[in-house]
Chain A
Amino acid sequence: MLTPFQYLLSGIYLTRYILYSRHELLLFEALQEGLEEEMERDIRVCVMGEDVGHYGGSYKVTKGLAKKFGDLRVLDTPIAENSFTGMGIGAAMTGLRPVVEGMNMGFLLLAFNQISNNCGMLHYTSGGQFTIPIVIRGPGGVGRQLGAEHSQRLESYFQSIPGIQMVACSTPYNAKGLMKAAIRSENPVILFEHVLLYNLKERIPDEDYICNLEEAEMVRPGEHVTILTYSRMRYHVMQAAKTLVNKGYDPEVIDIRSLKPFDLYTIGNSVKKTHRVLIVEECMRTGGIGASLIAAITENFNDYLDAPIMCLSSQDVPTPYAGTLEEVTVVQPAQIVTAVEQLCQ
């Protein structure tokens, strides 16, 4: 039994904990914080990209960093993705820890040569002599009427490259955590951000934390169906989940976060519990992350499935400019609700 004084004290501590050991920020600020902390922690961490320095980054992820760390640590590059990504790789091989920003993920298509051949393969072809502790990041995904070329999802193109890891952030908490983990990792990591998620607000812990690069995140535990998702589609799924709960369903929502490799432990445990899987992604259907996920789940957990895996992906269509068409290119919450109902029949 606690005395009234002890109750008061614990109440004060609890209030302090809630108020003061967390701070609220937007997702792009969380990324910036993660980057800044890592740059302070290790002087070898540097940033390279277009407009990352004086302009502060086209999505403000590197705002203020050039003033603080100088023009060489936050390097404004000319518009030459293939070459400055390669330059980042050369710098990584010789001791630095660069963070290469693609102003839009789609621009990294120009750097595919360097990402595939050098980033992914060089550690292997050198017999393990050189490591490439590089982070390649940038915003991708379908935005608000940005047009086909600025609305690309490159996770499906890069996933086959052996030797790289891919992670997708979706909340300020995991954005900061994944950014820090990616920078500290000895492997080359591609961090996928989403253009529409930069202004999400959340309270995140003050203390230093990282998110494990290979783990998935349990968003909402449930019993009836496993919904696997990542990046922006997480929010469409959560919106659909509200509707589903009202209709009496209990979906388990997992944000897979690690697009390559898959966290088959978290996913497997969920499949073993619910026996039904729905994948909701923003990638195109052909050769996308969902396609690989279906293959992995079927190979490993086929016996636990009560129904075929359903996968909702974007249409295999270049993203149209018109808002109405763009809306139907990506998966909407209503479709998710229908799919779950179908799956749970």
Chain B
Amino acid sequence: MSLSHHHLNTNILPTLSATIPTPFPLVFSAPIVSFLSFIFSSPLSLPSSPPIFSPFPSSLPTRKKMATAFSPSKFAAQPFPLNTTSQNNPLTIPTTASPFLGSTRKLIRLSSSSNLNIRRRSGTVVAVSDVVKENKSKSTLNLLITKEEGLELYEDMVLGRAFEDMCAQMYYRGKMFGFVHLYNGQEAISTGFIKLLKQQDSVVSTYRDHVHALSKGVSARAVMSELFGKTTGCCRGQGGSMHMFSREHNVLGGFAFIGEGIPVATGAAFTSKYKREVLKEADCDHVTLAFFGDGTCNNGQFFECLNMAALWKLPIVFVVENNLWAIGMSHLRATSDPQIYKKGPAFGMPGVHVDGMDVLKVREVAKEAIGRARRGEGPTLVECETYRFRGHSLADPDELRDPAEKAHYAARDPITALKKYLIENSLASEADLKAIDKKIDEVVEEAVEFADESPVPPQSQLLENVFADPKGFGIGPDGQYRCEDPKFTEGTAQV
């Protein structure tokens, strides 16, 4: 089929062929291809294609992998022209006869009967570790990560998990209050994306932001103190759980209302483009990542920003953490078309769906999306299928979700999966990983100690930071600026 303009926009494939990471040799044999395909099962969405792949096809091979410069002889019907590396690679849509789609044929029939109420998991999930077993003997050459990277990813995810578990403990002990939204189960997304960023890249999150801040580099102490409301917190105790900011690490928040952060992320990406084109900092390739959930994808700000980002080709990646539930509202009950990644091409950007419980898959998709943004090719919409193991917040009794669904996803715990991968590929030993677990436990405990011992904000802090220029409090009756009033610094001035 020929490519229309829209298809060109969704075509990540040809660029990946030019950007295969160096550890990969370019010659692959078929079994390894199938192994890789199962790993990178993130199909691109094509705007006018009939639904020939499953609605939530996390185990489908990614078409971008297929267009790389190798030819898998295993597959009878080769849906893609594989021997070309040209940029204008026309994508052919695989037929249902393709062996790739074999395992999902059941779902295809289901979807064509337009039953949107199907359960997501219909046995098409292929965990990383299963596939690894399949190709163990061949896998020495073609691992996705090095040992250092593997350990880094593992450590980051364990930090996220341990930190959130400690938050829950501290909350129930009355050390932190208010709304606390924990990230358990979604660590693969934060780690998979944020560990690819540089310090100058920006991250914008929602209220479920502790782990995003941690992955970006904010210290556990600073985050824990912030949660305890102490003055040593990353926001001096003024923000709290839902407002994690860090100038140093370019974490732009932490927003309590959903959708609020997406325009801010778009603005940060705009600045990056502005720096490149107006301020003439030619090497400025800062990328912004905007994280938000499935509920946000029905909000106007989401669509408005998709439009603007695609219009101006802003260096931003929109990462949807689709955990299926917006507090108690199931995504399927709230959304007319639950396939969020499809909404990308409607605005002229690629929409990619990836298994968000698998950090390696997320990382590969993230590499491509961030690479696109850095090269100035514009935004990408990445939908990560994930799940939160705890309730929406610590105040949520979480009675609405089906225990079977919870059990299903608990079996796909991203940390366990990565652990298995590392061990089975001899990238790390049990001892290494246990050492990391222990180290993280110490880090988190130290963070709690630090937060406990930190002072609470004094009253004098009340009026600071309301205005960057405190003259904004105005001129008092005595002719002096209010901020010059000595009571102002005590926090008792009447403003």
Contact = CB atoms under 8 A, between A and B. Distances in A.
Interface of A: 43-44, 46, 70, 72-73, 77-78, 80, 82-96, 113-114, 117-118, 122-133, 162-163, 165, 185-187, 213-215, 258, 260-266, 268, 300-301
A194 B315 CA distance: 37
A82 B305 CA distance: 10
B263 A165 contact: no
Closest 3 CB pairs of A and B: A90-B267, A86-B263, A261-B474
Given A80-B307, A126-B245, A127-B236, A91 B467 contact: no
B117 interface: no
B450 to A, nearest CB: 17
B397 interface: no
B465 A128 contact: yes
The residue in B238, B262, B271, B473 that gathers the most chain A C-beta atoms within 10 A of its C-beta is B271
Interface stretch (B91-99, B273-281, B373-381, B399-407): B273-281
Contacts of A261: 472-475, 482, 495
Contacts of B202: 94
Contacts of B204: 90
Contacts of B265: 90
B467 A90 contact: no
The residue in A78, A86, A118 that gathers the most chain B C-beta atoms within 10 A of its C-beta is A86
A86 B266 contact: yes
A311 B209 CA distance: 48
Nearest to B244: A126
Interface residues of B, number: 63
A117 B260 contact: yes
B255 interface: yes
Given A125-B243, A128-B464, A187-B467, A264 B263 contact: no
A268 B477 contact: yes
Contact of B268 (A46, A83, A90, A162): A90
B50 interface: no
Contacts of A90: 204, 252, 263-271
Contacts of B256: 117
Given A84-B263, A87-B266, A163-B467, A94 B304 contact: no
A129 B274 CA distance: 22
B466 A163 contact: yes
B174 interface: no
A187 B470 CA distance: 9
B267 A130 contact: no
A130 B247 contact: yes
Nearest to B240: A125
A124 B268 contact: no
B25 interface: no
A259 to B, nearest CB: 11
B468 interface: yes
Given A83-B308, A117-B255, A263-B474, A127 B465 contact: yes
Interface in B448-495: 464-469, 471-479, 481-482, 495
Nearest to B263: A86
B274 A96 contact: yes
Contact of A95 (B236, B240, B271, B305): B271
Contacts of A46: 274, 278
A82 B468 contact: no
Contact of B478 (A87, A123, A265): A265
Given A72-B278, A91-B267, A118-B264, A124 B238 contact: yes
